[in-house]
A and B are shown apart, each in its own frame.
Chain A
Amino acid sequence: MDILASFGQGLLVVLEPQNLMYCFIGVFLGTFIGVLPGIGSMAAIAMILPLTFYLDPTPAIIMIAAVFYGAEYGGSTAAILMNVPGTPAASITAIEGHALAKKGRAGVALFSTATASFGGGVFGMIVIAFLSPSLAKLALSFGPADYFAVILLGLVAASAVSNGGALKGIAMVVTGLMLGTIGIDLTTGDLRFTMGIPELRDGVHIVIVAMGLFGVTELIASIRTNLKGKSDVEVDFDDLYPSKEEWKSLPAPILRGSAIGSFFGALPGTGQTIAAAIAYAVEKRVSPWRKRFGTGVVPGVAVPEAANNAATQTAFIPTLTLGVPGSPPMAIVIGALMIYGITPGPRLLTEQPDMFWGLVASFLVGNIMLLVLNVPLIGMWVRLLKIPYKYMYPTIIVLICMGVYSLNNNVFDIWLTLVIGAAGYIMRLFRFEPAPLLLGFVLGPIMEEQLRRTMLLSRGDPMVFLERPISATLIAITVGILIFGLYSTQRKRRQTRAAQQNSTGR
């Protein structure tokens, strides 16, 4: 009852017209800025930050949060329409989402993400309201060894994301791990694989990898087909909304995705990407639609989106209750609070109950706004695909350039996008998928950091990974998935080969 009363109090805070307005402005700007390829939640928050200085802390934090989840939401729109994920997590949504769009069902995909985002957001909010203290405790009980184990699990799950077979998937994950080592070594400060290029000191920016592997590669690959005939992304305006059967298939993946997302979101540093990848991998195993995964199915769009959005909300748990930002946008949230003299930490809940509960309640209000704002926009986004490709693709390439250029205002990043895009295109020719690579790239540096930290703290004893209950459990699950994955690939291959021999006589 206590929580409900506090939540009601928070709801009163959000429903003050001023807070309501800033929540809406945040959601609105976030959605539109997030749609732009390469300009993700981080850039959106950074842009909005100066404006918040004119506000009181509560509306400021409500607006920043709204921009954050608005942009995370917007990122999936570009991923579905153009296969240009704004965030690494959106690359998982792109797998089924863009496949749906290619089948002329972009409206259905967008509708599913809107619904799933809403479900995930509300689920995440409920988790924050009820479980904040215990999840914060959980995050605190995660030591470096446990982080290593959870990332290992995430990566193995990520390789299962690949539709081109587990072997190629793992190979791409490992390639991503290696690319992630480019730049300054966080543990020693030495340079690795920078080839004497000063811009590579800080490594390759995630947006560059995503733009290159997804955006540029997709453009190259689709120009010919699109220019020859009509657009390969067909638009069917009668098919904007999911079918009855698809509607029924939505709730279960949204719930599963939200639960997985809520858990990982609370672990600082792993967050949305792992959440989306694991949720997708799990869904691929348990969904009644699993056989059709990879060809564009509604549950496949809903699950990473629900996970992503739930994780986006629960990411506030470590940020606010421990003062540990899991991601750069969360670091800005902390920075913004500090400007008001509010130090996020265990005291925040008791010292700033209005702000905390106002924020939690704003998640509900903001997610409703997001839904109300975006469902009518689906038709508009889909109509965007009606624009002939000859106008679209030069525009997309300029948008990619701008997105990348805005990272550091350095044209070197454009050159890097070119190189990665070209490499991605060659990979694509041989049917290697970019999503596992991107996940390996994102998680590799954290994994290495935690591995080396664990070894440093254990004075060189690798047994810690099996001695700590959390990491031991996670590693056992990982090994299980690996064995099962290899076994099922083998079996599937034997089956397909037998089937092919029967049908073609080859």
Chain B
Amino acid sequence: MTKLPDHSTELGAEPAEATSLGWGSAIGGLLLLVLSIIFMAGGWRLGLGVPTRLGTGAFPFFAGGILAVLACAICIDERRGDGIADTPDWIAFLAISAALAVFALTADQVGLVPAAFLTVIIASLPDTSLSLLGKAILGVVVSVACWILFIELLNLPVKPFVRFW
């Protein structure tokens, strides 16, 4: 992938790679529009109430309304502007998501130490520069460090190991 000139300094972020999407960058605005409609509909269903006693749904409804207007403005803005979006890195996205999912699935079932170990392994899967052994060693170091830090030192009420057999 070739590096594009960096458009981003004024935007604060510094992505190494960015793509000019044209009107495609309006997708962000469209997603917000969908979100705003969900909250407006939900707010309506919850009830808007009366001025004296504003209903449960009033605040999300009006916030949704404001967001809808803003989302439309963003869509228009992005469409005629030169929309820039970062190039997505779906492999990293999947690895990190999977790592979190693995921790969520295992923390209660097998205990903190094995869960932390598995999380490290999964998270580092896309990384080819580290051998499997290296990953395993990192996993052991991190999980043992977590055990010492969180359970022994900070006294968090978490079990290091759970008998699941």
Of the residues A406, A422, A425, contact of B158 by C-beta under 8 Å? A406
Task: Give chain B nearest CB distance to A470 CB in angstroms.
Answer: 22
C-beta contact mask, B68-95 vs A, less than 8 Å → 1, else 0?
Answer: 0011011001000010111011011101
C-beta contact mask, A478-494 vs B, less than 8 Å → 1, else 0?
Answer: 00000000000000000
Q: Which residues of B contact A277 (CB under 8 A)?
A: none
Number of interface residues of A (CB under 8 A): 78
B42–A192 touching, CB < 8 Å: yes
Task: Give chain B nearest CB distance to A30 CB in angstroms.
Answer: 13
Of the residues B51, B53, B104, contact of A418 by C-beta under 8 Å? B104
**Which one of B82, B104, B155 has the highest number of Cβ atoms from chain A below 10 Å of its Cβ?**
B104
Q: Which residues of A contact B126 (CB under 8 A)?
A: 223
A192 to B89, CA, bound (A): 34
A168 within 8 A of partner (CB): yes
Q: Which residues of A contact B9 (CB under 8 A)?
A: 295
Residues of B98-113 contacting chain A, CB below 8 A: 99-101, 103-105, 107-108, 112
Task: Give chain A nearest CB distance to B122 CB in angstroms.
Answer: 9
B93–A220 touching, CB < 8 Å: yes
Q: Which residues of B contact A506 (CB under 8 A)?
A: 82
B104–A414 touching, CB < 8 Å: yes
Task: Give chain A nearest CB distance to B48 CB in angstroms.
Answer: 12
B86–A428 touching, CB < 8 Å: yes
| Chain B residues in the interface with A (C-beta under 8 A) | 9-17, 25, 27-28, 31-32, 35-36, 39, 42, 46, 50-60, 63-64, 66-67, 70-71, 73-74, 77, 82, 84-86, 88-89, 91-93, 95-97, 99-101, 103-105, 107-108, 112, 115-116, 119-120, 123-124, 126-127, 129-130, 135, 138-139, 142-143, 146, 149-150, 154-158
| Chain A residues in the interface with B (C-beta under 8 A) | 33, 36, 39, 47, 95, 99, 102, 163-164, 167-168, 170-171, 174-175, 177-178, 181, 185, 187-188, 190, 192-193, 216, 219-221, 223-225, 227, 232, 294-295, 390-391, 393-395, 397-398, 400-402, 405-406, 409, 411-412, 414-415, 417-418, 421-422, 425-433, 444, 448, 451-452, 455-456, 459-462, 496, 500, 506
- Contacts A219-B92, A402-B150 known; 16 new A-B pairs at CB < 8 A: A171-B67, A174-B70, A192-B60, A295-B12, A390-B127, A391-B138, A394-B135, A395-B142, A398-B116, A402-B156, A427-B28, A429-B28, A452-B53, A455-B53, A455-B54, A456-B52
